[in-house]
Amino acid sequence: MTIKYTEDHEWIAVEGDVATVGITAHAQDALGDVVFVDLPEVGKTFAQKEVAGVVESVKAAADVYMPVSGEVTEVNEALRADPALANSDPMGAGWFFKVRLSAPDEVAALMDEAAYKAFTG
């Protein structure tokens, strides 16, 4: 599994041609207590950097951008029911959606963990 990060503070964990997407610990920290998530529709196709969802906290609302082009294959219904999962386990149970990659080469251009830490440091 390859984990990459975007400048918009999404993480993407790639396994084969499917990737899991969520917001980073840094993002949930900046947002504060997450109270609502708007997840994309299963079957919908997005281009890289297109808005795929929204996360709202007690402090702010932020768009969730598609880190790579592809089709949404699954959304995290547990997160919809309990948005606080984005705070308590942002890179685990708090994932947002899964996407089938249509342009796998886009993954290589994203940041690795060291680059993301430098970016947010």
What is the extent of the structural domain holding 69? 2-110
Task: With respect to residue 116, please indicate whether it lies within any of the assigned structural domains.
Answer: no
Q: What mean pLDDT comes out for the span 90-95?
A: 97
pTM (2 decimals)? 0.96
**What are the structure tokens assigned to 35, written together?**
């109270």
If pLDDT is split at 50, 70 and 90, which confidence band does 1 have? confident
Question: Is 121 within the bounds of a domain?
Answer: no
Q: Is residue 117 part of a domain?
A: no
Strand positions, DSSP E, the chain = 2-5, 10-15, 18-23, 34-38, 45-46, 51-57, 61-65, 70-75, 97-101
How large is the C-alpha radius of gyration of the chain?
Answer: 13
Provide the pLDDT confidence category of residue 83 given band limits of 50, 70 and 90. Answer: very high
Which CATH number goes with the domain that contains 8? 2.40.50.100
| pLDDT tens per residue, range 29-52 | 999 999 999 999 999 999 999 999
